Amino acid sequence: MFTLRQAESIGFSARAIRDRVRRGTLERVHSGVYGFPGGEETWHRSVKAAVLSSQGLVAASHSTAAHMWGMMSRRPDTIETVVTRHRKVQRSPFVVHESKDLLPMDVVDLDGIAVTTPVRTIVDLGATAPSWLVERCLDDGLRSELFAAWDVRCFIARVARSGRNGIGTIRPLIEQRLEWGTVTESTLEDLFRSVVARLPVPAPDPQFKLFDPLGVFVGRFDFVYEERLAFFETDSIRWHMDPIAFERDREKQNRAHALGWTVYRITWRQLLDDPESVRRLVMDIWTD
């Protein structure tokens, strides 16, 4: 696909393009955007056409960019783009967002399409998507190492202003994750102890080493209620999110399950925001 401006820059006139459209050797995709007929009508082709239909600095954005970066598995129903200035000349089958803080550094080429950077994408997404979806995409982006939490915090500082859409959704989520990232393993375990300390059940034993019947080491677990065959693992982003740790934790957990143990995973946010759910879980183990 190409724009009328691109065609004119290499010597074609608007009339010549219209003649080719009339003869069927070209097709008009959007206003000012043309392509060759017979090509497969794919979602990515539609995204590129939407981007080409605007002038100036423009990129696929919001949920469209989130899907292209792999942060959102479901393909969005509506294509979204962002521009610095938008002149609405006709009703379009896609959404165009206008942004005064869009800079060239916020746009990169992805599979031949101009797309907002992952950092800008996750902040912009906060303006249009529900908070639960923004949070899911944020965590997927962090796990995939598309950005670091501090990168998002710095971008927020750059664009934050009164009335800037998206900031109110993403700011508390990223501040939370920056807080988690500073948590040490011992701090997290101390918090778990304090949450369950007043329960009318025995205190869990810390740092339990599990071996299989042949004496092969299975793994070390944060806390154990040995007589209930129950382990508790306290998870933070800092210690459990990288791919190697993720795989190691799951392998250890599966081996423990095979030996008849149950492994319960408790997050930093759960301990801070919903400690009562942790207490209920511990009590359920002892009342079964």
Closest CA to 238 of 163, 148, 113, 119: 148
Q: Are 267 and 170 in the same domain?
A: no
- The amino acid that residue 230 corresponds to is A
Asked if 20 and 26 touch (Cβ cutoff 8 Å), the reply is yes
Q: Are 193 and 145 in the same domain?
A: no
Tokens of 107: 């746009």
Per-residue confidence band for 203, with pLDDT thresholds at 50, 70 and 90: confident
Q: Are 67 and 147 in the same domain?
A: yes
In the listed set 146, 165, 181, which residue is the last one of a domain according to the structure?
181
The larger pLDDT score, comparing residue 79 to residue 249, is at: 79
Total domains in the fold of the chain? 2
Closest CA to 270 of 238, 239, 236, 228: 236
The larger pLDDT score, comparing residue 252 to residue 6, is at: 252
- Confirm whether 17 is domain-assigned: no
Q: Are 139 and 211 in the same domain?
A: no
- Confirm whether 20 is domain-assigned: no
Asked if 87 and 40 touch (Cβ cutoff 8 Å), the reply is no
Q: Are 90 and 69 in the same domain?
A: yes
CATH code of the domain in which 252 resides: 3.40.960.10
In the listed set 125, 158, 181, which residue is the last one of a domain according to the structure?
181
Question: Does the structure show a pLDDT above 90 at 106?
Answer: yes
- In this prediction, residue 78 carries a pLDDT of 92
Q: Are 81 and 140 in the same domain?
A: yes
In the listed set 181, 208, 224, which residue is the last one of a domain according to the structure?
181
- Evaluate if pTM is beyond 0.85: no
Per-residue confidence band for 119, with pLDDT thresholds at 50, 70 and 90: very high
Alpha-carbon distance of 173 to 180, in angstroms, equals: 11
pLDDT tens-digit profile of 205-260?
Answer: 888 899 999 999 998 898 999 999 999 988 755 444 555 666 777 788 899 999 99
- In this prediction, residue 239 carries a pLDDT of 44
Find the domain containing 249 and state its range: 185-287
Q: Are 153 and 87 in the same domain?
A: yes
Alpha-carbon distance of 165 to 159, in angstroms, equals: 10
Supply φ then ψ for residue 28, to 5 degrees. -85, 120
Q: Are 91 and 195 in the same domain?
A: no
Q: Are 262 and 194 in the same domain?
A: yes
